[in-house]
Amino acid sequence: MTYRLFEGKDHASSYWKFRISPSDNLIQQVLDFLEKHKGHPFELAVDVGCGSGQGTVLLAKHFASMVATDVSPAQVEMALQHSKEPNITYKQCVAEELPLADSSVDLVTAMSAFHWFDRPRFLQEAHRVLKPRGCMALLNYTMEMELSYPDCCSQTLNQICQEFYAALVPYRSAHLGSNSIELYREAYKSLPYPDKEWHECVRVKRLMPLSSFMGFVESFSSYQTLVREDLQKATALSQDISHRLMSVMKVSSAETEVEVSVRYYYLLACKPEEA
């Protein structure tokens, strides 16, 4: 079944403000795989579960046309507000019923979204819309981000972060299991495509204010579930973690920049010529 979260306007706004997009290097890995197995021209790509569109705009410049879909009207509205690229069309629809013709798409992507889909149905739908030799890229990152700050003990910083993540585990959606990476590994193993690749432990590092790191974690579904259940508890948890991190960093402003290291994993697959 499909899980519908992240649909409120406030949550869509936090997605745009705080969610990171894949690095240029990760996007290039996807494009290199597509070029190797299908080749140019890159005519049409579809980004499924596009959210507020950060990843969509990175891909769009490499394709003649780009379709980005999301089940949430608020997310699509947010993406439209911030994206003016003329070759992108945004559509509200479920991931398992794409408004695209059979064998029409060069690349299907889902960036930090596949785990919310009805996964078997989505994989069937991606197979339907992909051209022969068209490719699929499913990307995600782990929740366990790591911080570093000059002249500061990273181990102490990240112990506090681990306490933050652990406090949110009881509010994690049960269907995700203990770690979403297993859902992607399962999808990789289940795909009957001869040409496919699995990658993990790919680090992407970004500088951002500590407040943005906190906002990033607060945009996760587990934190949002805690907010709905007990707003006071969620706020107190976030404030405590922020204050403790600033104390270790010996700073007084949450706008102080920290380096955030995010661990990505992803699968790449090519639809066979005859399938």
| pLDDT for the residue numbered 6 | 45
pTM: 0.86
Higher pLDDT, 112 or 167: 167
- Please write the tens of the pLDDT for every residue from 180-198: 899 999 999 999 999 999 9
Contact predicate 64/43, CB 8 Å: yes
| pLDDT for the residue numbered 5 | 46
Bridge partners, 67 (sequence order)? 46, 89
| pLDDT for the residue numbered 23 | 82
Among 21-30, 92-101, 105-114, 238-247, the minimum mean pLDDT is found in 21-30
Residue 82 confidence (pLDDT) above 50: yes
| pLDDT for the residue numbered 16 | 44
How far apart CA 24 and CA 139 sit, in angstroms, is 13
| pLDDT for the residue numbered 172 | 81
Higher pLDDT, 227 or 77: 227
Q: How confident is the model at residue 144 (pLDDT cuts 50, 70, 90)?
A: confident
| pLDDT for the residue numbered 15 | 47
How far apart CA 176 and CA 114 sit, in angstroms, is 11
Q: How confident is the model at residue 53 (pLDDT cuts 50, 70, 90)?
A: confident
- Please write the tens of the pLDDT for every residue from 92-142: 999 999 999 999 999 999 998 899 899 999 999 999 999 999 999 999 988
Q: How confident is the model at residue 30 (pLDDT cuts 50, 70, 90)?
A: very high
How far apart CA 39 and CA 20 sit, in angstroms, is 29
CB proximity list for 154: less than 8 A, separation 6 or greater: 146, 147, 148
| pLDDT for the residue numbered 51 | 81
Residue 73 confidence (pLDDT) above 70: yes
| pLDDT for the residue numbered 235 | 95
Task: Share the mean pLDDT of the chain.
Answer: 88
| pLDDT for the residue numbered 14 | 52
Average pLDDT score over residue span 29-50: 95
